[in-house]
Amino acid sequence: MRAVIPFKKTNAKSRLSPLLSEKEREELAMAMLNDVTEALLGSGCFKVIDILSTSIIETGGANIVLTDKGLNEALNEYLKKMTSHSINEPVLIIMADIPLVSAGNIRDITSSSADIVIAPGRMGGTNALFIRDPSRFHVDYYGSSFLKHRDIALKNGLDIETFDSFNLSTDIDEVSDLSEVLLHGKGHASRYLENLGLGFAWNNGRVGIKRI
Amino acid sequence: MRAVIPFKKTNAKSRLSPLLSEKEREELAMAMLNDVTEALLGSGCFKVIDILSTSIIETGGANIVLTDKGLNEALNEYLKKMTSHSINEPVLIIMADIPLVSAGNIRDITSSSADIVIAPGRMGGTNALFIRDPSRFHVDYYGSSFLKHRDIALKNGLDIETFDSFNLSTDIDEVSDLSEVLLHGKGHASRYLENLGLGFAWNNGRVGIKRI
């Protein structure tokens, strides 16, 4: 079994720019990537962990596969290459911006017996995608990828399971999402934000975030 | 074991008023309550299911306990009454606006061995709260209730577990939340929204919702 993490460091997480500088966003992106990689390593499930990256990065425990392609192209090329090299093993594609993921989550999602398992992000996204037979699936991210991946599975006669996890559903895109990292995170990303001096702000009874 | 659902029908879900009339919001609130009640009944875990309601409502399979008190007061009075009547059994307090919850979720959260189990909502909320010994806990909703409930547990020497579920984390407050019901719901609330003619709209590559 192998895991693939698509990753973009350069000008990462632009929607966090109201609060974080470009350098801070890139450092946060790296911290989140490290959280995801550690969960994958900690699960003990994978022979190979590949990071499909658009730039050279340093991280432990995973291979860096450089690509200049977009998300869908890079991942579909990866799946095709597996097939053409007769590597017939399940793949977990997992996003680099879900720092709450745990090793237990990874063990649970990869132990499903379904052909395809989707861990949805909020608002129709796909945050993790477990593909039992990569020769029979392709990805289509952006927009409501949850619906698109469900349709691709159905068209290819594959059964599909939705993986129910708050941790996996929590991708970090907007400033308000950072609250979830401070509330629930225990890893690199939450320590990074705490060290930046970020803390909670209260707004109409809802939790927000600010520099303290 | 018993379950308690606090419920307010009158002018329910006011933040949905940009899209739904008052009557529709009340009907949606009832549909979501029915989804939650069915999950509780389907789990087979409870001797008693009480709905703490501010108005008379009709629903199947649960007792209606009328109250004119606010959320915290009503629930803390309920917990106190259990203690004073020597009803020493675990209680699951569950919100009425989490229509994605499944019977399996309920079985999982109530089978924890922790003293307190919290299923967080987004942005620091508490969507379900499993209390093994109601004489040793009180609730404090609003604001970041997740942090407040964690602190109350720690102060009372109770161990606490966070329950990881996208279904339970998805409370329906804002118009954008309705997308989650249409994307993932299978019950009363999703059928109600479909019958209203609500469907997906696409906005900057993100899924939104509109009347079709």
Q: Give per-residue pLDDT as tens, A143-152.
A: 899 999 999 9
Evaluate if residue A91 carries a pLDDT over 80.
yes
Residue A208 has pLDDT above 90, yes or no: no
pLDDT digits (tens, 9 = 90+) for B60-94: 889 999 999 999 999 999 999 999 999 989 999 99
Secondary structure (3-state) at A168:
helix
Q: Where are the beta strands (DSSP E) in B135-205?
A: 160-162, 198-203
Per residue in A38-63, pLDDT (tens digit) is: 999 999 999 999 999 999 998 888 99
Nearest to B169 by CA among B104, B103, B107, B118: B118
Work out the burial of residue A86: count CB atoms within 10 Å of its CB; fewer than 13 is exposed, 13-18 middle, 19 or more buried.
exposed
Going A80 to A85 to A87 to A88, the CA torsion angle's sign is: positive
User: Which residues in chain B are contacts of A146 at CB distance < 8 A?
Assistant: 183
Neighboring chain B residues of A202 at a CB cutoff of 8 Å = 143-144
**A121, closest residue in chain B (CA to CA):** B166
pLDDT value at residue A201: 85
pLDDT band at B96 (very low <50, low <70, confident <90, very high): very high
Q: H/E element holding A3?
A: strand A2-7
Q: What is the CATH number of domain B2-171?
A: 3.90.550.10
Name the least confident of A96-105, A201-210, B127-136: A201-210
The strand pair at B63-66 and A206-211 is best described as: unpaired
Contact residues for A39 (Cβ-Cβ < 8 A; gap 6+): A101, A102, A103, A105, A106
Mean pLDDT of the region A137-146:
95
Query: In this model, does residue B204 exceed pLDDT 80?
Result: no
pLDDT tens figures, B134-153: 999 999 999 899 999 999 99
B72 vs A contacts (CB less than 8 Å): none
Give me Rg for the CA atoms of chain A: 17
ipTM of the complex as predicted: 0.95
pLDDT band (50, 70, 90) for residue B208: confident
Mean confidence (pLDDT) of chain A:
95
pLDDT score for A205: 66
Unique residue bearing structure tokens 């994958």: A40
**Domain-wise residue ranges, chain B:** 2-171
Q: Do B206 and A105 touch (CB under 8 A)?
A: no
Which residues from B are below 8 Å from A120, CB to CB? 166, 183-184
Q: Per CB distance under 8 Å, which residues of A are interface residues toward B?
A: 102, 105, 119-120, 122-124, 142-144, 146-147, 162, 164-169, 176, 179-180, 183-184, 200, 202, 205-207
Residue A88 burial (CB < 10 Å; 0-12/13-18/19+)?
exposed
Q: Which of A119, A146, A166 sits opposite B169 (nearest CB)?
A: A166
How many CB atoms lie under 10 A from the CB of residue A178? 23
Does residue A79 contact residue A138 with C-beta atoms inside 8 Å? Answer: yes
Task: Check A183 against B105: CB less than 8 A apart.
Answer: no
pLDDT tens per residue across span B173-189 = 999 999 999 999 999 99
pLDDT confidence tier of residue B205, bands split at 50, 70 and 90? low
Quote the tokens at residue A32: 């989140």
Q: Of all residues in chain A, what percent carry a pLDDT higher than 70? A: 99
pLDDT band at A73 (very low <50, low <70, confident <90, very high): very high
d(C-alpha B163, C-alpha B113), whole Å: 12
Instruction: Kindly report the number of other CB atoms within 10 A of residue B48's CB atom.
Output: 13
Residue of A183, A190, A200 best to disrupt the B interface, most CBs of B under 10 A: A183
The CATH architecture one would assign to domain A2-169 is Alpha-Beta Complex (3.90)
Helix (H) or strand (E) holding A128: strand A126-131
Chain A residue numbers touching B176 (CB-CB < 8 A): 123
pLDDT at B11 over 90: no
Are B206 and A143 an interchain contact pair (Cβ–Cβ within 8 Å)? yes
Closest approach of A48 to chain B, Cα-based (Å): 27
| Residue A17 near residue A29 (C-beta atoms within 8 A) | no
Q: What's the pTM value of the predicted model, to 2 decimals?
A: 0.96
**Region B109-113 average pLDDT:** 98
Q: Do B142 and A184 touch (CB under 8 A)?
A: no
